[in-house]
Amino acid sequence: MLKNSNVVELKILYTSDIHGHIMPIHYGTNEQAASGLSRYATAVKQIRSKTDNVIVLDNGDLIQGTPLMTHFVKQYANEINPLIQAMNMINIDAGVIGNHEFNFGKQILQSAINQSNYPWIAANVIDTKINKPKYGPPYVIKRLKNGIKVAIIGVTTHYIPNWESPDHIAGIHFSDAFTTLKSWVTYVRENEHPDLVVAAYHGGFERDIETGEATEVLTGENQGYAMCQIEGIDVLLTGHQHRQLTETVNNVLVVQPGSNGTAYGEVGIMFGKSGDGWKIRQKKAFIQSLHNIPPDPDILKTTADIEKSTQQWLDQPVGYIKGDMTIDDPFFARLTKHPFIEFIQNVQIEASGADISVTSLFDNNSKGFPSTVTVRDIVSNYIYPNTLVVLKLKGQDIKAALEKSAAYFTLDDQDAIIVNPAYEHPKPQHYNYDMWEGITYTINVARPVGDRIKTLNYRGKPILEHEHFNVVLNNYRASGGGDYDMFQYKPIVKEIQKEAAALIREYFEKYTTVEATKTENFKVIVNKGNPS
């Protein structure tokens, strides 16, 4: 504690992209994990015991992401949301809405907000009926004991309509996050006269924060670098990209604390008193690991019942595999046809009636299915609450999508096929490489990006540009997610409203034992001598 009354220290603690992680475990293996809100709660208590001025925030993507939350939504949705219960116990000061907050629909989100003992701030999430922020105020003011005034403005990525099911966001307009933030910073500076302005943005960086070079297509999904050019922001809290970073850009202190509650962001602000009020003397940021922080016993106790029920649900056997459907090498499972991928494609084709299917291996933690498949195996491999959509696509759309996926690969100095670094940094995006079923195709990585698909057939005949095909894919991709613009605004033939994980379970209920098979319908090759 600082003794000098003319010098005041403020600590801002914040989480982002918790994605349903409360308990310190990996649900796929049930092993202990150095993560989760239970550990974070202890860290917050420790800091509050030593520091007079502490503000605690959450930066979005809180309520979706673990089997615990999937089970809660399916079986206990009328009870208090366990993530909200944990945040209430931590006694946070405000939360920001993230894009995944909408995944379970409006009712689950509204219930979470209603149950929160803290405000949700989302200045650019607009109710179209009243043209005002729908879920909470655009900003909050926190006053410290010595009169220091802190303004916290919340915005979220306005790219949400490109991913989310339309019924989940009906009646909501997502204003441009950058222009909304700029407007509110001006308003707050002129009308509130704060000593510190914090922008809490559920979004990340579109440019390298050191060089300013674009690191992705400038779609507006991430605008953090542009926000650092807004006059009047002192601190920019970011998320969405699951990165860990601290830096200063244009005198704006920026932070991003990773994901899943493995760490949290800590911002330290030192104020000094002068003749015309309080001035910022120093600002610094740290990423604090939760590795050696014990879980809070109160959080563990209040979550115990839903956790026990979740574990029982996860351990239920649902079916059996004849053969081998396990994944030892995720790169190899993308490079060549894998039985697990073929299984997912078969589920999608049967559920939809389409002849052609598209799916991906979402991340490198997917292990495929063992001989006895439990609910745990399903939800740890199919980690998103996706539904399925059948689109009517032209041959040229299919070709364009395959060319987009083919950019996932590149060659090293020895002409060996490797993952394009753009799909691993700054954020892993392995889920943006798609594999197709019902067609045959070859990716020649030796060819330039955009000209790698030369063999493309349907039922033994070349696919023509203006031929029409019914293709089943998940709702994220069908809306153009992952910059698959060729899928946007295409005719919808059918929507399957059940989540893919439920469809997988129903498939096992129908067939009980599934044989691990693979149809070699695609190749990824290096052929420099032949342009095809």
Q: Is 95:86 a contact under the CB 8 Å cutoff?
A: no
Q: Is 86:65 a contact under the CB 8 Å cutoff?
A: no
SS3 (DSSP) at 342: helix
**Look-up of token digits 């650019």:** 124
Per-residue tokens: 474:
């998940």
What's the number of CA atoms in the CB half-sphere (13 Å) around residue 121?
Answer: 25
Contacting residues for 332 by C-beta, under 8 A, at least 6 apart:
338
pLDDT at position 166:
87
pLDDT at position 164:
85
- How wide is the angle at C-alpha 392 spanned by C-alphas 389 and 396, nearest 5°? 120
Rounded distance between C-alpha atoms, residue 384 and residue 103, angstroms: 9
Interval 440-486: pLDDT, tens: 999 999 999 999 998 999 999 999 999 999 999 999 999 899 999 99
SS3 (DSSP) at 264: strand
Rounded distance between C-alpha atoms, residue 118 and residue 454, angstroms: 56
Interval 222-274: pLDDT, tens: 999 999 999 999 999 999 999 999 999 999 999 999 999 999 999 999 999 98
pTM of the predicted model as reported, rounded to 2 decimal places: 0.83
State the average pLDDT over residues 405-418.
97
Rounded distance between C-alpha atoms, residue 72 and residue 254, angstroms: 34
Would you give the DSSP letter of residue 26? E
If you average pLDDT over every residue of the chain, what do you get? 95
Rounded distance between C-alpha atoms, residue 383 and residue 364, angstroms: 12
pLDDT higher than 90, residue 72: yes
Q: Is 216:222 a contact under the CB 8 Å cutoff?
A: yes
Helices 82-90 + 106-115 axis angle, to 10: 30
Interval 295-346: pLDDT, tens: 999 999 999 999 999 999 999 999 999 999 999 999 999 999 999 999 999 9
Spatial strand order in the sheet of 461-462: 461-462, 453-458, 440-444, 522-525
Q: SS3 helix, strand, coil % of the chain, rounded to 5?
A: 30, 30, 40
Interval 337-388: pLDDT, tens: 999 999 999 999 999 999 999 999 999 999 999 999 999 999 889 988 788 9
pLDDT at position 1:
44
- What does the chain come to in residues? 532
Phi, psi of 12 (to 5 degrees): -110, 120
Per-residue tokens: 149:
């005034």
What's the number of CA atoms in the CB half-sphere (13 Å) around residue 244?
Answer: 13
Helices 82-90 + 297-314 axis angle, to 10: 170
SS3 (DSSP) at 352: helix
Interval 161-198: pLDDT, tens: 988 888 999 999 999 999 999 999 999 999 999 999 99
pLDDT at position 531:
53
With residue 306 as reference, give the H or E element that holds it. helix 297-314
Question: Residue 200: which of 146, 154, 150 has the closest Cα?
Answer: 154
pLDDT at position 296:
98
Per-residue tokens: 137:
């105020």
Q: Is 47:54 a contact under the CB 8 Å cutoff?
A: yes
Rounded distance between C-alpha atoms, residue 231 and residue 237, angstroms: 16
DSSP annotation string for 146-194? TS-EEEEEEEE-TTGGGTS-GGGSTTEEE--HHHHHHHHHHHHHHHT--
> Strand runs (DSSP E) across 405-497, as ranges?
409-411, 417-419, 435-437, 440-444, 453-458, 461-462, 468-474, 492-496
